[in-house]
Structure 1
């Protein structure tokens, strides 16, 4: 069987990129508030004038933060139906050990909860949604206890 019949040579997922309005504030949010580690920062010089880039890492997962320069802001997400009606990437999901404890700590750190905890029985998940400093939606997920 040809290797490419099932997988065209893809080894693993590497990162997701977020375009943000305030680069410094976003790096602080992901590192200081959510506990990611700043891996590296760079620019592309004349290829992307005025833009700054950073990788922030949580375990093996990375986010590429792209900030500064000219930005066309997307309309703010106002509720779950609005959030789920958008095309393209709509949120980032982070696995948590205890959703209520995580939300309590994030509230203590000044993070506003966008959607309070709710259960999704078909996938055995307890979920809540927050937004980062740029309005990007972050889903927090805890598997139901077995």
Structure 2
């Protein structure tokens, strides 16, 4: 496995379900999996670490707070023809947080993985 300078870790409810989502819907490749605890996926230069409930990254903090999926931090995936990608994902019952937003640099929309983690799909102008 080639080591990249930085990776993104998402806390997920179910590693198997998340691996299936990212590989079948967003074109990631499974590189390594450690049972239900963790999986490492790759897409282009992005390494995505999925940490399930048994993973060390999911353990409670000293104050008792527990890492949870969701929130507003997100990975950004650049896609061609955003509208057609959104249509395909909607047909696959992927959840979206909003509709396509037009901005000065391009168009974007937020979808969610099965655990509720945000993924921005971005089509540059």
Scaled by the length of structure 2, the TM-score of the pair is: 0.79
Runs of at least 5 residues in structure 2 that lack an aligned partner in the other structure = 60-65
Alpha-carbon deviation of 1:75?
A: 8.1
Alignment equivalent of 2:31, drawn from 30, 39, 57: 39
1:52 paired with 2:37, answer yes
Alpha-carbon deviation of 1:132?
A: 0.8
Q: Count the aligned residue pairs.
A: 114
Distance 1:39 1:75 in 2: 22
Scaled by the length of structure 1, the TM-score of the pair is: 0.69
Question: Stretches of 4+ moved more than 3 A in 1?
Answer: 70-77
1:67 corresponds in structure 2 to: 52
Change (3 A) 1:103 1:17: same
Three-state SS of the structure 2 residue aligned to 1:134 is coil
Which structure is higher in RCO with an 8 Å CA cutoff and minimum separation 6? 2
Describe how 1:1-146 pairs up with structure 2 within 5 A. 13-42=5-34, 52-69=37-54, 72=66, 74=68, 83=72, 90-121=73-104, 124-144=105-125
2:62 corresponds in structure 1 to: none
Choose 1 or 2 for highest CA Rg.
1
Alpha-carbon deviation of 1:24?
A: 1.1
Runs of at least 5 residues in structure 1 that lack an aligned partner in the other structure = 1-11, 44-50, 78-82, 84-89
Three-state SS of the structure 1 residue aligned to 2:98 is strand
